[in-house]
Copies of this chain bind each other. A is one copy, B any other.
Amino acid sequence: MMPATSPPRWQRRADARPQELLDAALAEFIERGYVATRLDTVARRAGVAKATLYRYYANKFELFKAVVRSAVVAEIDELAANPAKAASAREELAALLSAFFQRIVNSPLSGIPKLVIGEAGNFPEIARFYHDEVIDRARALVLAALRRGIASGEFRAIDADYGFRIAVAPLLLAIIWKHSFQACEPQPLDFDRYLAAHLDLLLGGLTAPSAEAA
């Protein structure tokens, strides 16, 4: 009988662990939100014990920040780095909102904004972090498109900052709907038609002559 050398109970993989933990945590945060995500589950999903997770991330919030940076912030930065330079401001704005829609709203990643929307009220640090790292970046992109259109006379001279919020509001609503109320309705929302309807109305409103009375 060979006393078969029992395989090691675990391996040292210090360089692979951080990313594996990040992947596991992203999936869990998306599925369950911030509070409901159990660090023990995240660790097991990554194939390690909870105490091991703490060797790489100091606490839950640090883990969360790392996840958001590696997933959402990276996505937006990529968008910002490859600007779809369109002929008109209309097209640029439409392309931008479409990109946000396809890459975030209509993807599993939407779980992150959903989580933030829900829990930012109870965790001011999360709100501040997300505001500074994500919202500000996204806003810069939208504001640029709006200002371009206003400067060129393509759009009416609205307050761009308010325009930004009104332009992205339907994206937020789509996220909320998808994650919280989808199951309450017989037929699901058609995301493409929804986006098209929004762009149609928004661009119509932006272009309409200022003084139109009833």
A208 — which chain B residues lie within 8 A by C-beta? 204-205, 207-208
Considering the complex, give the chain B residue whose CB is closest to the CB of A171: B169
A44 at the interface (CB under 8 A from B): no
Nearest-neighbour CB distance to chain B for A90, whole angstroms, equals: 6
Report how far A148 CA is from B90 CA in the complex, Å.
Answer: 30
* A172, B176: Cβ atoms closer than 8 Å: yes
A16 — which chain B residues lie within 8 A by C-beta? none
* B194, A165: Cβ atoms closer than 8 Å: yes
Chain A interface size band reads 35 or more
Indicate with 1 or 0, residue by residue over A192-211, a CB within 8 angstroms of chain B CB atoms.
Answer: 01100110111111111000
* A181, B127: Cβ atoms closer than 8 Å: yes
CB proximity to B under 8 Å, residues A43-77:
none
A10 at the interface (CB under 8 A from B): no
Considering the complex, give the chain B residue whose CB is closest to the CB of A194: B162
Contact of A90 among B176, B181, B205, B214 (CB under 8 A): B214
* A117, B118: Cβ atoms closer than 8 Å: yes
Contact of A177 among B116, B165, B203 (CB under 8 A): B165
CB proximity to B under 8 Å, residues A116-163:
116-122, 124, 127-128, 131-132, 135, 154, 158-159, 162-163
A131 — which chain B residues lie within 8 A by C-beta? 181, 184-185
Once A168-B173, A172-B169, A194-B162 are accepted as A-B contacts, the answer to whether A179 and B121 lie under 8 Å apart by CB is: yes
Contact of A212 among B35, B168, B169, B207 (CB under 8 A): B207
Residues of A whose CB lies within 8 Å of any CB of B are 32-33, 35-36, 88, 90-91, 114, 116-122, 124, 127-128, 131-132, 135, 154, 158-159, 162-163, 165-166, 168-170, 172-174, 176-177, 179-181, 183-185, 189, 193-194, 197-198, 200-208, 212, 214
